[in-house]
Amino acid sequence: MLRSAESPGSFAVNYAILGIAFVAEGISLIRAVRQTRAGPREAGLGFVEFVRTSREPATKVVVAEDTVAVVGLVVAFAGIALEQLTETIVSTPPRRSSWAASSPTLPTCSGGTSGIS
């Protein structure tokens, strides 16, 4: 469903929040890369190959998480910029999946009763 953008002033807020998040995640990624950089030199491997083949899970997790976070922020920035440029918001109505509607445990998990004794 397409509809026109309602409040163009909110773009500044969106960009500010993304900018703050980008700086925080970027600093974290730079620190993770700097701390990990000594390993590939000692092993005689490239950085990506070292991270892929490392047996230390912390190396993989920190570098991967920070990289994905920065990429996600770039995608979010691109989405907001496209929304601003095209002046349209693309939204889809929420759908209930069939398993959620028929699941007897879903109401129990959310604090209700499932009706099963």
Q: How confident is the model at residue 97 (pLDDT cuts 50, 70, 90)?
A: low
Its domain, for residue 96, covers 2-109
Question: If you average pLDDT over residues 92-103, what whole number do you get?
Answer: 60
Examine residue 114 and state whether it is found in any structural domain, yes or no: no
Beta bridge partners of 88: 4
Q: How confident is the model at residue 100 (pLDDT cuts 50, 70, 90)?
A: low
Residues 31 and 20 sit within 8 Å (Cβ to Cβ): no
Q: Give residue 38's pLDDT.
A: 80
Examine residue 115 and state whether it is found in any structural domain, yes or no: no
Examine residue 30 and state whether it is found in any structural domain, yes or no: yes
Entry pTM: 0.63
Question: If you average pLDDT over residues 4-20, what whole number do you get?
Answer: 78
Examine residue 46 and state whether it is found in any structural domain, yes or no: yes
Tokens of 36: 């990990």
* The residue to which tokens 């002046």 are assigned: 87
- Number of domains into which the chain is organized: 1
